[in-house]
Amino acid sequence: MTSASQPRRLDGRVALVTGASRGIGAAIAERLAAEGAHVVLVARTVGGLEEVDDRIRAAGGAATLIPQDLLDGAKLDMLGPAIFERFGRLDVFVAAAGLLGTIGPIAHADPKDWDRVFGVTVNANMRLIRTTDPLLRRSDAGRAVFLTDRYAQTPVAYWSAYAASKAALEMMARLWVAETQGSSLRVNLLDPGPVATGLRQTAFPGEDPATLQTPDMAARAIVEFCVPACDLNGERVDLTPV
């Protein structure tokens, strides 16, 4: 956490984080709060959100919980107006929510599973871009970060909906960059690399989590792209430790 002697780089700012109930999303939320941001936590799991909120408040931070299924598009559409009504601003948006789906041959993909993965990774983020865009453009230093994966860039057999949805997410983020040139908004794609999360454990059940980054290690790097001093825009950055 940021020490008392260090300036907090996000004092007075509001940050929205999806997938904030566990893993990387939760770690990012805690780091943003430590930097002074009021963090709006979005996830489906109420208990997980409450645990993150407890840790943030215990460390002196502030958060607002929004238990929300990202597949409920109509409710997502209201998120931007609700944030504006409550806070009058939004400065940071981190899209950390993700869904692995079924790993297997694309010729055998289950349509319902496919739709759910795309619903969380692509459709929900399209709606979140729509609802946050006006607020982020109003900020003097709007920052948006999308978590991606190497499988979006390189076709690897059996990664199916996960890889295809991440590829679509990357293009969507790049389109947003192209359409917001000249504004103060900065949009970047970050690949955190292998991180010890539940999603990773499901994909690689035999892997030793002790050999991977912790979510907090990844969050430390990701938060650097959320602060006003970061002027990178339209970049895809691999944060895998060397």
- In order of their start, the domains of the chain are 14-235 (3.40.50.720)
Distance CA 93, CA 25 (A): 11
Q: Is the confidence at residue 204, as pLDDT, over 90?
A: yes
pLDDT tens digits, one per residue of 49-105: 999 999 999 999 999 999 999 999 999 999 999 999 999 999 999 999 999 999 999
| Predicted pLDDT at 236 | 98
The predicted pLDDT at position 156 comes to 96
* Residue 235 · residue 188 · CB < 8 Å: yes
The model's pTM: 0.95
Q: CB of 212 within 8 A of CB of 200?
A: yes
Pairwise CA distance, residues 135 & 106, whole Å = 38
**Per-residue model confidence as pLDDT tens digits over 129-162:** 999 999 999 999 999 999 999 999 999 999 999 9
DSSP string, 111-155: HHHHHHHHIIIIIHHHHHHHHHHHHHHHSTT-EEEEE--GGGTS-
Residue 4: the pLDDT is 52
Q: Is 162 a known active-site residue?
A: yes
Q: What is the mean pLDDT of the chain?
A: 95
Which pLDDT value is given to residue 242? Answer: 75
CB-CB neighbours of 58 under 10 Å = 8
Residue 115 confidence (pLDDT): 98
Tokens representing 46? 């109420």
pLDDT value, residue 99? 96
Residues above pLDDT 70, as percent of the chain: 98
| Average pLDDT for 173-183 | 97
Nearest residue to 133 (alpha-carbon basis) of 97, 69, 187, 174: 187
- Whole-number pLDDT of residue 5: 57
pLDDT digits (tens, 9 = 90+) for 109-130: 999 999 999 999 999 999 999 9
Task: Quote the pLDDT of residue 241.
Answer: 87
Residue 101: what residue type? G
Name the catalytic one among 146, 159, 162, 176. Answer: 162
